[in-house]
Structure 1
């Protein structure tokens, strides 16, 4: 029996979502996440290998580059499921590195990265709240997620008007732990012992950063949706004055407001992913990504904060899982640009030139 393109896409998305069960407990338990908090390197090498074996790191790359050639819609479905489980392995960042290495044609680092045998991270950020890689040769690179787990780093450096790409292996970045139990690394931009792997990756870098920003929005969507579901379950079960908390109209109104935020975020993320798959580029792509990321960042912080409040005093304890979602949202929300940065970028991208 033949199927339509829409049905094929729906089946592809379902299979991507189902594949996450390979690394996430069937009951949604967060024991593994808790066990990795505030440890170094902060990820599970066995899980990272599984991620590579399933093809997730190269999910967006063409088959000719060792990837599986799926769309941004599939990538966002995957990231959403990882957000629901608070998976700490830096797949979005590794996928960014994979795109740069594929553009460079250097298979020496790309093949083991795609296989999950190594972790390669890109040290692109030079200041807080940015979505550009200036490539300043003298600038320390900041906010490299889970940097202690990486075997190599990619360093974009501006040379003669182009964005060259260097590979640094064996570096030991300075590490600063974050409130969700992970860490950021900082790395001196020293190309003395580095190997240049590409003369110009400016175009690939811009696309990779946009895809990472949209992927982060999808991760936040999954995170807030799971957090909201847990909160609804709590409101149905917790009794006060002989009634379930969820029966009180004031709490129902608050829950409805949060549900609206999640639905609007889903529409924005899925719409942006579909338009990118349809070929949106330039300012159109940037506007779509920024609209989704701005909404996801604001909504995730609102949903997780109110979820903790709706749980009452127990929600503020470290032993109760709901707080893990708020801590993770507070760290991830500004990754690849804050909501303020993306609102500004959106306005610049959609602004119409003044008429004469």
Structure 2
């Protein structure tokens, strides 16, 4: 991405590297992991308030609603650096999923009510879509029933990102006619239960159980319009998570190369071994191709190209990011040898995070099938 950065991009990137590298790096991530009682939300409220002041949470929100955007490329640059440093924030949940849903589907009243508070870090949003271990809309069974002048929402969600500490949750559901809806619920209202979900990467996940009454004003979208909008929201998330993944991959590659230049066997640096050089070349090539795909995907969003073009490149870049991060994280562990498996090094954090990121919003099998269907017109 460095070859195409303009002045605005460079300033944002420098700011992100300075702040995240100093305050929200792997050392901070380790502190959160080791002191879960002090960080029940898996992030620091103080740092969240600071990055909100920097304008990062509202980077894809129009200035009219208190944001500093829209600037999707900037959001991806931030996600890339957060992946590099393992920085725990609510950028993906609130700044992307929540903001995208409101921007695409929200009424003027909803935008004016929620977007400024999200930008200021005062309103934290979780987006609940998954109901099984697979990422498929056909698995959505959470039910929305009309009852007189209100609605009743019943169902369960799993793997809800940043669920713990969220103020509101956007719940994807269906009515009796199988039409899709997004319903806004308050995380503390009667009939709503959110429980922590402990996963290997120590990210903030939760399970949601809901059996609550919902007013019409809490509907964000419905029917055919929502079905198209939901794919737009998820495609933006797929591109952003790919950015985060490639930031982690870049860091792992640099760390591994540095180690190969220092570690000696048989009196020479192991980086001089041709077999390892070939493996490093493969990692580098895979990373460069993935970054090229990422830039193309970001470009489709920035230039507001057709939903088909966006979907095609979103699936392409998520697949490339999945394969690249799996390759580089596995190779990083292997090339470090036994020490790579110890808790002393941060490599294990990245490997565990990679295993979860690959599954988020669709694994490579899901996206290869989706890519084929889109390109073949199925």
What TM-score, normalized by structure 1, do the two folds share? 0.89
Alpha-carbon distance in structure 2 between the residues aligned to 1:139 and 1:276: 33
1:258-297 to 2 correspondence within 5 Å?
258-297=283-322
Unaligned runs of 5+ in 2: 144-153
Q: Does 1:157 align with 2:173?
A: yes
Partner of 1:70: 70
Asked whether the equivalents of residues 140 and 188 of structure 1 are also in contact (C-alpha less than 8 Å), the reply is yes
Q: Does 1:96 align with 2:97?
A: yes
1:57–1:208 Cα change, 3 Å? farther
1:42-191 to 2 correspondence within 5 Å?
42-94=42-94, 95-102=96-103, 103-105=105-107, 106=110, 107-130=112-135, 132=137, 134=140, 136-137=142-143, 138-159=154-175, 161=179, 163-170=181-188, 171-191=192-212
1:227–1:28 Cα change, 3 Å? farther
1:131–1:64 Cα change, 3 Å? farther
Secondary structure of residue in 1 paired with 2:21: coil
Alpha-carbon distance in structure 1 between the residues aligned to 2:270 and 2:363: 34
How far residue 114 of structure 1 moved from its aligned partner, in angstroms, is 1.6
Alpha-carbon distance in structure 2 between the residues aligned to 1:163 and 1:263: 39
Q: Which is richer in strand?
A: 2
Which range moved further: 169-178 or 317-326?
169-178
Q: 1:104-158 CA deviation, whole Å, 9 max, x = no partner?
A: 2424443322211232111122232326484732431111123223222222333
Unaligned runs of 5+ in 1: 1-6
Partner of 2:277: 252
Partner of 1:315: 340
Secondary structure of residue in 2 paired with 1:175: strand
Q: Tell me the matched-pair count.
A: 347
Partner of 2:10: 14
1:278–1:305 Cα change, 3 Å? same
Asked whether the equivalents of residues 221 and 262 of structure 1 are also in contact (C-alpha less than 8 Å), the reply is yes
Cα RMSD after superposing both structures: 2.4
Q: 1:290-349 CA deviation, whole Å, 9 max, x = no partner?
A: 000011011101110110100000000011112211111111111111111111111111
Partner of 2:147: none
Alpha-carbon distance in structure 2 between the residues aligned to 1:221 and 1:297: 9
How far residue 238 of structure 1 moved from its aligned partner, in angstroms, is 1.1
1:60–1:42 Cα change, 3 Å? same
